[in-house]
């Protein structure tokens, strides 16, 4: 992994099936909306050895027409929504909940897609880390915020282990004051 800017890395990681699935979805999504991938996949992307069924993606809110275009693009590229079939129904569902997209004929892995609602969602969208891979670019959640969110909000054993893993991977590059500030902010 090579840092090529403050919030940009270039990685030579071996791309696995989960990465290919995520990149396939993101290539469609990025044509229509601003996004950031958060939570467990961020740790997995950086080498944590654990399984996941879903990849969390926060998307900047969009109108019904742009969403319908995105939905059509996803369906045309072999994805389906697990929550509803019609784009209008999916859009209405998104007003209050996350929806899941998987490749046709499958349920996992899936992309858990939600519009930004909470302040932490907007903060994630505001300052992502760009990760260059051999087959595409991903916008990942800010590492300090990821660590703080896992510690202060999620708090499961799995999330605590994810936070420790990210701290090890980014040792010497993290702003520990920023992590602490995020933790305090998230607990409010």
Distance, CA of 149 to CA of 111 (rounded, Å): 19
CA 93-99-102 angle, 5° bins? 140
In order of their start, the domains of the chain are 2-142 (3.30.460)
Q: What are the residue ranges of helices labelled H in the chain?
A: 17-29, 40-45, 64-76, 87-94, 119-126, 143-149, 157-169, 176-187
pLDDT, tens digit, 9 for 90 and up, residues 83-96: 999 999 999 999 99
What is the pLDDT, as a whole number, of residue 5? 87
> What number of CA atoms fall less than 13 Å from residue 138's CA on the CB side?
27
pLDDT, tens digit, 9 for 90 and up, residues 13-68: 999 999 999 999 999 999 999 999 999 999 999 999 999 999 999 999 999 999 99
pLDDT, tens digit, 9 for 90 and up, residues 57-79: 999 999 999 999 999 999 999 99
Burial of 177 (0-12, 13-18, 19+ CB in 10 A): exposed
pLDDT, tens digit, 9 for 90 and up, residues 144-180: 999 999 999 999 999 999 999 999 999 999 999 999 9
End-to-end CA distance of the chain: 35
pLDDT, tens digit, 9 for 90 and up, residues 129-141: 999 999 999 999 9
């Amino acid at each position: 992994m090579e840092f090529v800017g403050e919030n940009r890395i270039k990685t030579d990681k071996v791309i696995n099936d989960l990465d290919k699935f995520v990149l396939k979805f993101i290539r469609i999504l990025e044509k229509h909306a601003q996004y950031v991938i958060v939570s467990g996949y961020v740790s997995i992307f950086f080498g944590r050895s654990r399984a996941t069924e879903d990849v969390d993606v926060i998307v900047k809110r969009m109108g019904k027409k742009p969403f319908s275009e995105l939905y059509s693009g996803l369906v045309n590229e072999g994805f389906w929504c697990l929550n509803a079939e019609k784009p209008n129904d999916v859009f209405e569902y998104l007003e209050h909940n996350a929806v899941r997209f998987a490749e046709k004929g499958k349920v996992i892995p899936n992309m858990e897609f939600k519009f930004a609602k909470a302040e932490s969602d907007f903060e994630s969208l505001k300052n992502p880390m760009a990760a260059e891979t051999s087959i595409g670019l991903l916008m990942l959640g800010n590492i300090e915020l990821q660590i703080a969110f896992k510690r202060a909000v999620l708090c499961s054993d799995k999330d605590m282990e994810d936070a420790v893993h990210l701290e090890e991977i980014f040792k010497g590059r993290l702003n520990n004051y920023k992590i602490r500030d995020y933790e305090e902010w998230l607990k409010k």
